[in-house]
A and B are shown apart, each in its own frame.
Chain A
Amino acid sequence: DGGITQSPKYLFRKEGQNVTLSCEQNLNHDAMYWYRQDPGQGLRLIYYSQIVNDFQKGDIAEGYSVSREKKESFPLTVTSAQKNPTAFYLCASSPRRDANEQFFGPGTRLTVL
């Protein structure tokens, strides 16, 4: 089955710890994206990558970091510098650089205790 997988579905961390969220796709898509979703605020773009070894900051990149060493993988690290990291994180991918349509993973709910 082709698709996007995110793991884990639920993640708990102590305040001050870095944590890495996994995103893998086997759709052979060029572009990948990370969003944060908070109640009542819709989706906010954190980082995106159009090709391997290249990525750009989105609207709320502070406190986050990413890498794109492989086409199928786009992990997101939530660092201790992120002041309010508890949220639902969504990864997406797109088959073309023009982002005409995005395909989403099931999401990871991160709770920082």
Chain B
Amino acid sequence: GDSVTQMEGPVTLSEEAFLTINCTYTATGYPSLFWYVQYPGEGLQLLLKATKADDKGSNKGFEATYRKETTSFHLEKGSVQVSDSAVYFCALSVGNRDDKIIFGKGTRLHILP
């Protein structure tokens, strides 16, 4: 079945460091791919998305490129801030099947000042 695998956390970085959170997926169709972010005590917010191969999603300095050949959608940011500390979820949707989004288990990110 469809699934998402993302790197386990927690990931701890110093402020202004480069961030990569790996995400790979398995899907039998042509999924849309998402990164959601969850700040402490809150619900999830969509961070960025890509709907077809080679698309790049970007928002708030974060980027991810839909790589069909490697079935990956890694999240990157060039210079992280303390305010980026949160849990990040990679997710996919094969929208024309069962109307569901499949989430990864989440990666907790800690940024040290």
Task: Map CB proximity to B onto A1-37 as digits: 1 under 8 Å, 0 otherwise.
Answer: 0001010000000000000000000000001000000
Chain A residues contacting B44 (CB-CB under 8 Å) are 43, 90, 92, 102, 104
Known: A98-B93, A100-B51, A104-B43. A42 touches B103 (CB 8 A): yes
Taking the closest CB of chain B, its distance from the CB of A22, in whole angstroms, is 14
Chain B residues contacting A42 (CB-CB under 8 Å) are 89, 103-106
Asked whether B95 lies within 8 Å of A100 as measured between CB atoms, the reply is yes
Q: Indicate whether B60 reaches chain A with its CB closer than 8 angstroms.
A: no
Asked whether A102 lies within 8 Å of B101 as measured between CB atoms, the reply is yes
Task: Map CB proximity to B onto A27-54 as digits: 1 under 8 Å, 0 otherwise.
Answer: 0000100000000111101001010000
Which of A40, A50, A99 touches B93 (beta carbons < 8 Å)? Answer: A99
Interface size on B, residues (CB 8 A): 22
Chain B residues contacting A58 (CB-CB under 8 Å) are 100
Closest to A106 in B: B43
Q: How far is the CA of A97 from the CA of B99 in the complex (A)?
A: 6
Asked whether A99 lies within 8 Å of B99 as measured between CB atoms, the reply is yes
Closest to A10 in B: B41
Taking the closest CB of chain B, its distance from the CB of A48, in whole angstroms, is 7
Q: Indicate whether A105 reaches chain B with its CB closer than 8 angstroms.
A: yes
Q: How far is the CA of A98 from the CA of B92 in the complex (A)?
A: 12
17 contacts between A and B (CB under 8 A): A4-B43, A6-B43, A40-B105, A41-B105, A42-B104, A42-B105, A50-B99, A58-B100, A92-B43, A96-B95, A98-B95, A100-B95, A101-B32, A101-B46, A101-B93, A107-B42, A107-B43
Asked whether A101 lies within 8 Å of B43 as measured between CB atoms, the reply is no
Chain A residues contacting B95 (CB-CB under 8 Å) are 96, 98-100
Taking the closest CB of chain A, its distance from the CB of B69, in whole angstroms, is 23
Q: How far is the CA of A6 from the CA of B41 in the complex (A)?
A: 13
Asked whether B46 lies within 8 Å of A48 as measured between CB atoms, the reply is no
Asked whether B32 lies within 8 Å of A48 as measured between CB atoms, the reply is no
